[in-house]
Structure 1
Amino acid sequence: MDGLTAAIERYLAMLEHERRASPHTLKAYALDLRRVAAYCRGCGICRWQDLSEGAVRGYISERRRAGLSARSLQRELSALRGLCDFLFKARELEDNPVRRMRPPKAPRALPGTLKLEEIHALLDVTPASAWEVRDLAMWELLYSSGLRLSELVALDLADLAADKSLVRVRAGKGGKERVVPVGRCAREAIAAWLEIRPSCAALGENALFVSRRGRRMSSRGVQLRLLRWGRRLGSERRLHPHLLRHSFASHLLEASGDLRAVQELLGHADIATTQIYTHLDFQSLAKVYDQAHPRARRR
């Protein structure tokens, strides 16, 4: 293991154990940093101490010529900036050569959402099997409480309040916990699942939602089930769990106008992240305006 790789491994270990970064983040950062390290070796750079701003600019140019999107390049530079900050604080670097780098701006894409009629088409169904009872409880909870996929699959039975009106999210982004309300329809769907769960779960399994093997549902398993539901219902779009979280945020903000409350429910550390849903709401208002205002309508 050379000096470049050793420093990467130490940085990733710090992210995992001290900052409690998610497995997804660790995997992405590891891939990005190893790619930078390979570029450095090709340039004759064997230590991070020899990395210069010029070398970083050369890497950026190479990645852009390879067709990397602005968003992906932002992520790669973020990983490298974090590594260099880590080494700078450890006094292994005299300066962070990435600190003054400005990646190209990526267009901010608005998250997709489902219309209310699409939500009803997905949730107002009668389950035909125990596994569909489980699935419906998962979809209801995702939409009712705005959970991330990783938060949903990490739920244990103990995280659900006795009356099912609240759920404790322990696996939030950045290791942050929060408690969120559970709506009536979701409570009823969860209650139906809990009645049959004992015959589906393996002995001693604490997970709220289990697979056919009786063990905790995997993120991929949830994604595939929702995709299958969408195809069966004839949905025009590809359904995925985050679509339900986006729909939860957009519909709640549209009805309440309370951005701060939506931020807390979503578990966003920065309200700027939540503000993207105000653009969705504005689009809806603009459409109404275009259709209703006498001076906006086309002749």
Structure 2
Amino acid sequence: MNQTINPVLHNALPDWLDQLAIQQHSQHTIAAYHRDLVAFLSYCEQQNLQPQQLQISDLRQYMGYCIEQKQWSNQSVQRALSAIRQFMQWLQQHGTQVDANFKDFNIKRQPRPLPGMLSPETLNQLLDQAAPQSENDQWLWARDKAMLELLYSSGLRLNELVNLKLSDIDWSQHLVRVKGKGNKTRIIPFGGKAEQALRHWLSLRIVKTLDHDFIFISRSGQKISDRQVQNRIKQQAKRAGLSADLHPHLLRHCFASHLLSNSGELRTVQEMLGHSNLTTTQVYTHLDFDHLAKIYDQAHPRAKK
């Protein structure tokens, strides 16, 4: 397929992508949206369609083409649809007439898979493991433990963790401020174990003269990368003898599930996770059937024999 972007929108696409960067969308998301829009606009050009004059039926036909001809997964189709809807809305807001309203156009999602889960005991095995013997490994463990404790204590996303700065920590209130998706700021508590790990790490971090205040750094003094965090977490899981495929988002899942299981406060968990839609948070209500059964037996007047 020809990948030449429709000349009418040649300048609009990079401007929109710049706006996403200002809103602090991840580089991975911006790159994916760019590919999705280039493919879509090229399809429009091949079909002699003017993107500004598209109808819902044209978009439905394109989605069908992606599924049947390009063998896209449901996740890829949903992401492309999100990119197209947001781009068209941005065009309208910036004076370009768009005939159809794509805002309410949806494709039925496949059932969301339940996230994997680790027990509190397994996480204790990870977080309470002894420090290594060598001084170099102790430095790395202090940093990695602080990252692990904060991911599990506050349910941070990976991007939120790596961009965390010293000024984002309120030690007196035990709160951390993060900027999540859509540049939305939220305030989340962190626990005593996370505070201990953070203070210990920062006592070692200050030996470096830095020109920034990012909390988590590499040996070179640069802000740690997403990939480095992912690799270090897997390394620490291996050192603790865990067989699970540990990654930052799994710790976020554990935070949400364990907090919800012990509190039942769905709205509170939604706020801490930064979910705009409660249905996204509700997936965690399906993870602890034993707990739900126990609550039912205790609370429902007809539960007891």
TM-score class, shorter-chain normalisation, is 0.7 to 0.9
Q: Which amino acid aligns with 2:193?
A: C
Structure 2 residues not aligned, in runs of 5+: 133-137, 297-305
Structure 1 residues not aligned, in runs of 5+: 290-299
Do the aligned residues in 2 keep the contact of 1:166 with 1:179 (CA within 8 Å)?
yes
State the partner residue of 2:189: 181
Q: 1:216 to 1:82 in 2, by over 3 A?
A: same
Give the drift of 1:73.
Answer: 0.8
State the partner residue of 1:59: 62
State the partner residue of 2:143: 134
State the partner residue of 1:104: 108
1:74 to 2:78 alignment? yes
Aligned partner of 1:13 among 11, 18, 29: 18
Give the drift of 1:16.
Answer: 3.5
Give the drift of 1:151.
Answer: 1.2
Do the aligned residues in 2 keep the contact of 1:21 with 1:174 (CA within 8 Å)?
yes
SS at match of 2:188: strand
Q: 1:91 to 1:256 in 2, by over 3 A?
A: same
Give the drift of 1:287.
Answer: 10
Give the drift of 1:193.
Answer: 1.1
Distance, in Å, in 1 between the alignment partners of 2:267 and 2:42 is 44
Distance, in Å, in 2 between the alignment partners of 1:142 and 1:100 is 35
Paired residue total? 285
Give the TM-score of the pair, scaled to structure 2: 0.84
State the partner residue of 2:216: 209
What are the within-5 Å matches in structure 2 for residues 124-163 of structure 1? 124-128=128-132, 129-163=138-172
Give the drift of 1:35.
Answer: 1.1
State the partner residue of 1:37: 41
Q: Which amino acid aligns with 1:207?
A: F
SS at match of 2:11: helix
Give the drift of 1:274.
Answer: 1.8
Do the aligned residues in 1 keep the contact of 2:54 with 2:98 (CA within 8 Å)?
no
Q: 1:7 to 1:235 in 2, by over 3 A?
A: same
State the partner residue of 2:31: 27
Q: Which amino acid aligns with 1:151?
A: E
State the partner residue of 2:303: none
Aligned partner of 1:244 among 238, 243, 251: 251
Give the drift of 1:131.
Answer: 0.7
Q: Which amino acid aligns with 2:185?
A: E
SS at match of 1:39: helix
Aligned partner of 1:279 among 282, 286, 297: 286
Distance, in Å, in 1 between the alignment partners of 2:246 and 2:51 is 43
SS at match of 1:26: helix
1:268 to 2:272 alignment? no
Q: After superposition, give the CA deviation of every residue in 1:81-120 in whole Å (9 maximum; x if it has no partner).
A: 2222222344533422645643232211122221112101
State the partner residue of 2:135: none
Q: After superposition, give the CA deviation of every residue in 1:126-179 in whole Å (9 maximum; x if it has no partner).
A: 22211111101110111111111111111112222345822222x222222222
Give the drift of 1:180.
Answer: 1.9
Distance, in Å, in 1 between the alignment partners of 2:273 and 2:194 is 17
CA RMSD of aligned residues (A): 2.5
State the partner residue of 1:294: none
Aligned partner of 1:227 among 230, 234, 237: 234
Q: Which moved more, 1:7-16 or 1:56-65?
A: 7-16
Q: 1:216 to 1:202 in 2, by over 3 A?
A: farther
Q: 1:10 to 1:158 in 2, by over 3 A?
A: closer
Q: 1:141 to 1:14 in 2, by over 3 A?
A: closer
Do the aligned residues in 2 keep the contact of 1:20 with 1:174 (CA within 8 Å)?
yes
